[in-house]
Amino acid sequence: MKMFRILVLWCLLLGATMGLNNVQAQPEQNGGTTIIAEPEVEMADTLRQDGKIYVVVTVLLTVLGGVLVYLISLDRKVSRLEKEVKSLGV
């Protein structure tokens, strides 16, 4: 049950940070002209054009998935040990 709460919290935080990517800069007023600052990320454009961005995303998802599986297995082991200690009355 603890792990479920952690996973839900993690998913909410991930969703919140993904939503922040769509935030745009506020336009600046400069003597009647509106200037909108748009950051250019050449590396991301290059990776997208070459199709390598999918490799990066796949590697990141694989690493996060591995960490998630490890945390779930660790939680199960700790829960099992807690039950054993409780049953022994220590």
Bridge partners of 34, per DSSP, are 29
Give the global pTM.
Answer: 0.50
Read off the pLDDT of residues 12-71 as tens digits, 9 standing for 90 and up.
Answer: 777 766 655 544 455 555 565 666 666 677 777 877 788 888 899 999 999 999 999 999
Could you state, in order of their start, the residue ranges of all structural domains in the chain? 44-90
